[in-house]
Every structure is written in structure tokens, then in C-alpha cells.
Amino acid sequence: MKSERLRNLLFMICRYFANTQKKFMPGIKHGETAIEILGTIAEMQRRATDIRKEGKTIAFVPTMGYLHEGHLSLVKRGKEAADILVASIFVNPEQFGPDEDLSRYPRDPENDIRLAETAGVDILFMPEAPDLYPEGYETYVVQTDLPEHLCGLSRPVFFRGVMTIVAKLFNIVKPHLAIFGEKDYQQLAVIRKMTRDLNFDTEIIGGPTLRESDGLAMSSRNKYLSEDDRKSARVLYRCLSEAGRRVAEGETIAGRIIAESETAIRAEPDTEIDYIKICHPGTLNDVAVIDQPVVMALAVKVGGTRLIDNLVLFPPGTGEK
């Protein structure tokens, strides 16, 4: 609790600095607008309305902060496609289960602001939880099918929380397009479906997964990994790329690939498999015989940290783009 207060204090000082001292900040050319930090829903809605009235387009990258190269690549993608890039930082309590890592989820707002500014974020929206979920909050966005697969099974409130916060943020930021990482494959599928089903006038764009040099998918949660965990964690991408190779060479039996991956993961210390699935890229239904591109998705706890990753597997002749 004490460290949280200290963090908040540092953050407020930092926000003050960023908002008032823009002209003295290094790297910002004279006349160029520095990053604009907004903290309230009303401010953000007003800005979004004004930007749209000016005929400009808004690209949106929602994040939970603790930014890394993966997030920044989404920012880059958004900047190419729209006039104004809005990013948000909000660790959404509604998508964490009671036994999950909400309280220890890594946060570093000062560094996030610096990274966002350098990456060219125009507006950084940093709302507070009590504003987004006031006393008596009770409205949620749900889906009946897609969440009944993969991560939805071990994280029952996760997608309800994700859809709810994304719907809220869409209503606040009013983006023409929004960019989400393909690393969270099911999340991207759920959000695409929600956007279409609820007729949000927003285009959803997936950004490719960025990886460390050893193949580990970039994730804020990688911070939790000890040095030994970090070594074990490499097995996720090793399994996926091995599966990609096997399918490209003609393997069609999903069960065989899954069994091989299980063996490889169990051979690494401190690993616990949540799921390894090969499924239809749209419906996420299990695929037994691979005769078209499929997505292989896995979730593995490494030293207590739950990591996810995925790869599309292309059978011969289905042509990886």
C-alpha cells in the first residue's frame, strides 16, 4: 500500500512535469506538440469529439502499461494509418480473477510516459479505476461462444473484463481504428467479433508478435521470470516453430504435434501446461486434421507466471503470406 502511494506520487509529479515543462523536454523540437496526458473520461471524450470535428482520424492502442517494444510497434502501426495516435494505460481490474496477479502486475508510469512520447503517441489516456468502475457499476459485455475456448476456460472472467473495458474505451476515445497485438490471439478474435456484433464504427487491426532474440514473445509479464524461468520459457516458441516446420512438411495430425509439444514442455523445469491447442483461426474450435491454416495456441505456467503464445501453421500449398 505504501509503495503504491509512493508510485502514485511519483506519477503525479511526472504527469505535472510532462504537461507543464514540454518545451524544456529533450527530443521535442520547437513548435512540435509534445505528448498530451489526459486523466479524466470527460477530457478524453471532449478531445476525441474535437479531433473528429476537425475531420482528423484517431488510431488507438489500449495497453495495461509497462510498455515494451511490442506495444511500441502497435503505436508505429497506428501512426501510419491515422492522424492522431491515442494510447491508454489502465490495468483493468475487471479482467483479473481473484487469484490472479492484479496487485503485483508490473507498473512504471514514468517510464511508460517517456517511451510513449518517444514513440510518437499524441495523447496518452491514463484513467483511474474508480472513474471507470464507480460504486454500483454493473454493466458488462459478454459473448456466448468464443470465450468458451482456450484462455476463457482457465480465466472465466477474463474476456468479459476485456470486452467491457474495450467497449468503454471505444466510447471514450472514439477511435477510427484500434490496434491489438496478435500475441493475445483469442483476445484479438473476441474484440474483432465484439466490434462487428455491437456495430462499433472502428476498424480492428492486429499487430504481429514481437519476440526477444531467443524467440520468447514480448510481454509485460516476462518481468516476473527468474533467470531459470527465462530459460524454460524459451520452450513455448520452440514448440510453435517446430510445429510450424512439421505442418509445412506435411504433418496433418494435430494430436501428434500437441503430444510432442507436451513432452518438450514437461522436460523443462518448473513448467505447468494450461493448454496446448490447434484450432480454427476464426471459431477457435479444435482441429484434428490439419488441411488448412490453423492456429496453434498455448498457455504454460513457468515458475508460477502464466505465459501465452501462438502461431499460425500453414500446411503445404496453403501459402504463408
Residues annotated as catalytic are 71
- Mask: binding to a second copy, 278-297, rule CB under 8 A, as x and -? --------------------
By DSSP bridging, strand 36-38 and strand 294-302 are unpaired
Closest to a second copy by CB, 166 or 311 = 166
Q: Does 199 bind a second copy (CB under 8 A)?
A: yes
Question: Which range in 14-22, 57-65, 162-170, 179-187 contacts a second copy by CB under 8 A?
Answer: 162-170
Question: Which range in 85-93, 118-126, 136-144, 228-236 contacts a second copy by CB under 8 A?
Answer: 136-144
What is the residue whose three cell numbers read 509439444? 261
Q: Does 171 bind a second copy (CB under 8 A)?
A: yes
Alpha-carbon distance of 271 to 264, in angstroms, equals 10
Closest to a second copy by CB, 61 or 146 = 146
* Maximal CA-CA distance, the chain: 61
Of positions 172, 278, 297, 312, contacts a second copy by CB under 8 A = 172
Alpha-carbon distance of 193 to 179, in angstroms, equals 14
What is the b/e burial string over 77-86, where b = at least 16 CB atoms within 10 angstroms of the residue's CB?
Answer: bbbeebebbb
Closest to a second copy by CB, 32 or 201 = 201
Shortest Cβ 191–a second copy spacing (Å): 10
Dihedral pair phi/psi, residue 60, rounded to 5°: -130, 130
**Which of the 8 DSSP states describes residue 55?**
T
CA atoms within a 13 Å half-sphere pointing along the CA-CB vector of 276: 23
Q: Does 91 bind a second copy (CB under 8 A)?
A: no
Name the nearest CA neighbour of 77 among 167, 226, 168, 209.
Answer: 209
Shortest Cβ 96–a second copy spacing (Å): 18
Residues at the interface with a second copy (CB under 8 A): 41, 45, 49, 52-53, 55, 132, 136-146, 163-164, 167-168, 171-172, 174, 193-194, 197-201
